[in-house]
Structures are given as structure tokens and as C-alpha cells.
Amino acid sequence: MSALHIVIIGGGEIGFNLAKHLSDDDYDIVVIDIDPNKCKKIKNNIDARVIEGDGVSQRVLQQIDMPSVDYLIAVTRIDEVNLVASRIAHQMGAKKIICRLRNTEYTHRTAVVKPSQFGIDYIVYPEMAAQKEISEIIDKSSVVEVQAFMDDQVKMVGLVIDSSSSLIGRTVENVLLSNPFVKHKTVLIFRNDESFVPHQQTTYKKDDIVYFTGLDEDINSILKMVGKPPFNVKNILILGAGKVGRLLAKELQTDYDVRIVEKNQEKAHLIDQKLNEVLMLVGDGLDIDFLESENISDVDCFVAVTENEQTNILANLIVKHYGVKLSILHISTTSYLKSIRRIGVDAVISKNISAVNEVMKIIKSDVNDLVVSSFEELDIDALEIRVSPDCKYIKKKYRLSDIPESICLASISRGNKNIIPSKKTEILENDLILLFTKEENLKKAERIFI
């Protein structure tokens, strides 16, 4: 198969990271942006053709052989630019179009303007994805990340192994044997800024970030096994009334005592009228006196989602000092991610990482003709594969022990039942299986099961 031809409109954080990851896959990449500084950054760091110009200009877009474009990805910060660029590219013959949108009104059933009218095949809502992930973390309370698979029946949770954890010094196999009623699989370990798929004799170490999968109803048991049982979150303080903060407050307001802190008085007043069950506070989230007046020491969960990530980072450090049980911060610049993991914040969310992962999932799933979820920040892919009756695994009567250690079988879906496999579990033809592996092993996994 020839290399994909991909055009990205918008060279900001999302566009830059998409171009970086896609160019690593040897795809033919073109990036369009009107900002000369963004164009220069891409030219200096990425093997891609860069066009400095307006992404909605027909004159600019005519520089591209649009009928040869496999994917046009419009990811500027402005919905209207993305919509118009998508429409023009569609009319000019681009095969598939992926569009980033911020305004969730386009998803409403009664919306007058619908994305399909612009020739858009896939929509990515980064702010909505970030809000959903934060809600999941609050629900589980002691995790650093939550991802859902198999129609939300199977969850992957990331947990930091603290010095008090009973897992330290024990192998993956030993922990499985010692906890026969806690159905789980260890799919990934993040250690010293590197991630790897563990094998049975891998030993857990202090400060590992370990990613476990389990059925949704078993996640709390997994947390207790690690020594991080969930706690009951009652009150939440959100710093920042931007898009993510508003979506989050709206989602949480009926189940929790929610307060939002917003520095801009006019913005706070406008949003206050739309969120009836949320207490709006006008103030500076970095003002110690203000935080103390709001009894910050009694807050169960603090979420910093302002547009300024330095503010978010500093605010989280302050509230952790005051004993807030769960601190979550949002970042835009993904280059901060590794550093932030080391400074004691409980969970880090990035709408930009969510957007990149979603776009990569769309493209990889299309290319491989199966569902591939990509987690670029963890350097791991998740595959959902329907086991073919003619595949090598079935024909050669393999057992689970014959699956390479570089591929982790996380779950099996059979009919209406989801199974977390043990050593004695059998894989049958037509099972839907969930695998985790590095990108370079995707084809190896396919050759075994398809």
C-alpha cells in the first residue's frame, strides 16, 4: 500500500503533534497555517511540507492535489475556519475529512447546521473528551487515567505505585496468583519516562505508573489490591470557567457540591446564569487568602482547567500543600507532560492529547480495517480484533502461552459476556478480543488472529 497523503489545516499544538506522529509513520504530510512562527517550528522539527497561508483560501488549497488527499484534518481553534475548510476540501475532492469542533451545539438533534452538510466524515471534540476523562477520574478518585473499551464494559486505569503498596517487589504472576478473585490484567508499565508491555516475571517498582484492565464492576477491587482504594468525593472546586470547566460543571452539578472560581467578573456573571446548581466565585485561584477563605483544606477534589497551564500547575501545587485529596490539572503544551508527572499532581489531562489520540484512532482503524485506539503519550496501541476461524491461532490450536510477550491479551468479549482471561481461558473463533501492544507489533497481532 502506498503512503497516505494527509493534509493538516492548523499548525497549533494539535496540528503539530499530529504531523509529528504521522510523519513518524512515513506518511506524506502537508501542514497549512497562517502563522509564520508555527510554520517555522514545523519546518524545523518535522519532515512535512509546510504552506504558510489561510486554510480557508481557495488559492492556498489549490496548491494541493486535493483528489489525491486521503485525509484532510482541520484542527484550528476556530470552528468556522474548520467547517469552511472542510467544505472547500470536500468540494475539491479530498477522500475523507476529519474536523475539530469546540461548539457542542452541532451535535444537537435539532441543530440547523450539521457537520455532514460540510462533507465531514469524522468530528473530534477535544474539550468534550477532556471533560469525560476528568469525570471518570473523579468517579474512580485514586487513578491517574481512565479509558473505556468494549462499549464501556472494560476499563483501563492508570495507578501510581506508592511506597506503601504491597505490590512492590512482587511479579505480575505472583500478584495474579495471590488475588484470584480480583480479575485484572497488567497491560502497561510506565517507568523512568519509558513504557513497556510487562511479562509474567516483570517486578512492580515504587513510582511505577501501572495500567490495569478489568471489568467496570471490578475496578474498585483492583484499586484496593494496589493499595489505593477510591474515596468518596463530595465537593469539587473547579478553577477556570472556560469550555472544559463549563462542560465539567454542567456534568457534575447534580451529583456533587460544585464551585467554580473565575477571575473574569463579566465571564463569571454570564456563566453563573446558565449553571443553576453551581456556586460561582469571582477570585484568583493563586491567591492564598482567597483559597483559605474558601476552606481549601476541606476540598475533596480540585480541578484546574484555565487557559493558562502555568496557572494550572502552580494552583495544583498550592492545593496539594493544603491537603486536597485529588488534584487534576489540564495542560495544552504536551511537552510539559513528563515533568508534571514527577511533581506530585494526581492526574494530568490534555484536550490536545485527547484530540491527537482520537484522530490517530480514526486513521489507524481505517488503515488496519479494525478498531485501533492509539495512546501517543504512552506509546501503546489497543486493538479490538474479531478472531477469524481461519486465523493462525485457531488453525494451529494455540494456547494463551503461545501469544508473544510483546502482546497483552486484556479481555475477551463472547456474546453478551466480557471475560478477563486467566491462564486456563480459551480463545474461540469469532471472539472479540482486546489487545495492547506497541505500534511496531500491530501487524504481528493481526497475523495471529485475523
Distances (CA, A) of 92 to 59, 99, 101, 119: 12, 16, 21, 11
Residue 333 predicted with pLDDT over 80: no
Residue 346 predicted with pLDDT over 80: yes
Instruction: Write down the pLDDT at residue 215.
Output: 96
Contact (Cβ atoms closer than 8 angstroms) between residue 303 and residue 349:
no
Residues 6+ apart with CB under 8 A from 268: 241, 260, 262, 280, 281, 282
What is the per-residue pLDDT across 218-265, written as a single tens digit (0 to 9) for each? 999 999 999 999 899 999 999 999 999 999 999 999 999 999 999 999
Nearest Cα to Cα of residue 53 among 9, 89, 94: 9
Instruction: Write down the pLDDT at residue 370.
Output: 86
Tell me how far apart the alpha carbons of residues 193 and 419 are, in angstroms, rounded to a whole number: 31
- Identify the CATH number of the domain defined by range 361-449: 3.30.70.1450
Of the listed ranges 105-109, 257-261, 338-342, 408-412, the one predicted with least confidence: 338-342
Instruction: Write down the pLDDT at residue 24.
Output: 76
State CA 81 to chain mean position distance.
24
Give percent of the chain above pLDDT 90. Answer: 82
5-124 architecture in CATH?
Answer: 3-Layer(aba) Sandwich (3.40)
Residue 1 predicted with pLDDT over 60: no
Residues 115-133: what's their mean pLDDT? Answer: 92
Distances (CA, A) of 350 to 147, 177, 209, 341, 355: 14, 36, 18, 13, 9
- Identify the CATH number of the domain defined by range 129-226: 3.30.70.1450
- Domains 5-124 and 361-449 fall in the same CATH topology: no
Tell me how far apart the alpha carbons of residues 411 and 308 are, in angstroms, rounded to a whole number: 39
Instruction: Write down the pLDDT at residue 378.
Output: 87
For the domain made up of 235-328, give the CATH fold. Rossmann fold (3.40.50)
Residue 335 predicted with pLDDT over 90: no
Nearest Cα to Cα of residue 379 among 442, 308, 309: 442
Instruction: Write down the pLDDT at residue 220.
Output: 93
Instruction: Write down the pLDDT at residue 332.
Output: 82
Q: What integer best gives the mean pLDDT of the chain?
A: 92
Nearest Cα to Cα of residue 123 among 70, 75, 80, 89: 75
State CA 45 to chain mean position distance.
24
DSSP H/E element including 202: none
Q: Could you tell me the pLDDT band of residue 179, with boundaries at 50, 70 and 90?
A: very high
Q: Return the biggest CA–CA distance within the chain.
A: 69
Instruction: Write down the pLDDT at residue 209.
Output: 93
> 437: which 3 cell numbers?
501492544
Residue 421 predicted with pLDDT over 90: yes
- Burial (CB < 10 A; 0-12, 13-18, 19+), residue 16, is buried
Residue 2 predicted with pLDDT over 70: no
**Cβ count near 387 (within 10 Å):** 20
SS3 for 82?
A: helix
SS3 for 81?
A: helix
Q: Could you tell me the pLDDT band of residue 104, with boundaries at 50, 70 and 90?
A: confident
Of the listed ranges 30-34, 113-117, 357-361, the one predicted with least confidence: 113-117
What is the per-residue pLDDT across 369-396, written as a single tens digit (0 to 9) for each? 889 998 878 889 999 999 999 999 999 9
Residues 74-94: what's their mean pLDDT? Answer: 96
Give me the residue spans of the domains in the chain: 5-124, 129-226, 235-328, 361-449
Tell me how far apart the alpha carbons of residues 35 and 37 are, in angstroms, rounded to a whole number: 6
